[in-house]
Structure 1
C-alpha cells in the first residue's frame, strides 16, 4: 500500500553528511519514455507491474525502490485552470509522488500531477491512493476512463531551489533545480494531465531524441 510521503519523512536519516558518503543514482529522462509508457498501458497487468518509468530512467528494478504517494482534492488556481481550459475553482485531483533508491535518502525528484477530478472519478479506483503504485501509470489509469493520450509536451526551465527543495532533495550548495512542466493531451486535443516535476540538477540528465520522417 502506498503511504503518504509526509508519514515517513522521519523514517530516513537526516543530514547531508549521510548521503554525501554514497554516490547518487543518476537519472536520464529520455523523451522516448512517453511512447514506452503508452505502449505498456495495453500490456497485461503482470507486464505493467514488473517495471515503471523510474526503472526506465534509472536502470534500477522495482525491488531497489521506495515509492510514496499522496492524493488530495484541490480547487484549481488560475494557472492550472488556464492550463486545463476550465473555470478557476474546478476540482482537481492532486497527486504527489516521491520515489527513491532504497539505499539512498533523497527522492529522484518532486512530482506533482493534476487530473480533472470529474474525469478521474469515473473510475473510483483512480481516487484511491492505496492503489498506488498503479501498474502502467497514468496512461493506464486514464485508459480505464476511456482517455487515450495523443501527445505530451514538456517545458524545461531551471532556477535556484527553495529551502524546502534543498532539504528534501538534499542538494549540495549552489545546485540548481530543473523544472519540467509536462502537459498531456488526449486524441481530442484536451489537456488531461498537468504534471510539475522538480529535478535535482546535480544528478539529472535530460535526453531529447527527435526522430525525423524519411524522404
Structure 2
C-alpha cells in the first residue's frame, strides 16, 4: 500500500496520485460483493486501483432522480421519461484538491426501488459498490462493456480535474448487463489523461 498520496494541496505542481485501471477490477468487485460486510467495508475499488488506504481518501456522492433522455432511454431499452437514479461520485486523496475522476452513474429507479437504501446517498460509500447494491435486489451482473474515447477537456473539466494545459481527458462509458441480458447500470467516467493508465487483459481460448 502507498503510505501517502503523490501530490499535496500545498504543492499543486507535485505529481498527482496515478490510477491504474485494469479490467480485472470487475471480477474483483463481483467476488467482493458476496463477502461479509466487514470485508466489503475494509477497502473499495479506488483503494484497489491507487494502492491507498481508506483513511487517505475523501469521498462524495450525490443522488438525484431524473427522467431518461433519448440516449439513456435507448441504452437501457426503456421509454423516454422513465425515472432514473443519477449518481455523481467524486473521490480524491486527502492531501490533493482534484478528484481522481468525474463519475456519473445511472440506474433505472424501478429496478432498485425494492431496497430504499439504494435511493439514499447518505448510505454512501456503499460497502461492496454497485455490484453489491444490485445484489441486494436480486440482480447479478453477467458482463460489462467499456468504451474509451479521448478528447480535449471542457473548461469545467480542466478546472475540476486541475489539468495541465494541453492535457486530454479519457471518456470511459461502462455498461453493465445482468444475467437476463438487461442493461442495469450505465456509468460515464471522465479521467485525467496525465495520470491515468488503462490496462486490458484478454484471456484467449487454447487450441
Q: What aligned pairs does 1:1-215 form with structure 2 within 5 A after superposition?
A: 18-20=11-13, 22-215=14-207
Q: Following TM superposition, by how much is the alpha carbon of 1:213 offset from its aligned partner in structure 2, in angstroms? A: 2.3
Equivalences, count: 200
In 1, the alpha carbon distance for the partners of 2:39 and 2:118 equals 20
Cα deviation per residue 1:11-41 (whole Å; 9 max; x = unaligned)? x96xxx8411x22000000000000000001
Which digits, 9 at most, give the CA deviation of each residue in 1:49-80, with x for residues without a partner?
11111011111111110000000000011000
Task: Indicate if the aligned counterparts of 1:184 and 1:194 stay in contact, CA closer than 8 A.
Answer: yes
User: Does the CA-based 8 Å contact 1:67-1:98 persist in structure 2?
Assistant: yes
Distance of 2:42 and 2:69 partners within structure 1: 36
| TM-score, normalised via structure 1 length | 0.91
TM superposition shift of 1:170 = 0.3
**Separation in 2, partners of 1:172, 1:156:** 21
Contact 1:152 1:182 in 2 (8 A): yes
| Displacement over 4 Å in runs of 4+ | none
CA drift at 1:120: 1.7
Task: Return the alpha-carbon distance in structure 1 between the equivalents of residues 92 and 201 of structure 2.
Answer: 26
Aligned-residue RMSD, C-alpha: 1.2
Report the secondary structure of 1:19's partner residue. Answer: coil
Kindly state the Cα deviation for residue 197 of structure 1 after the two structures are TM-superposed.
Answer: 0.3
Separation in 1, partners of 2:111, 2:38: 26
- Structure 1 residue ranges without an equivalent (≥5): 1-11
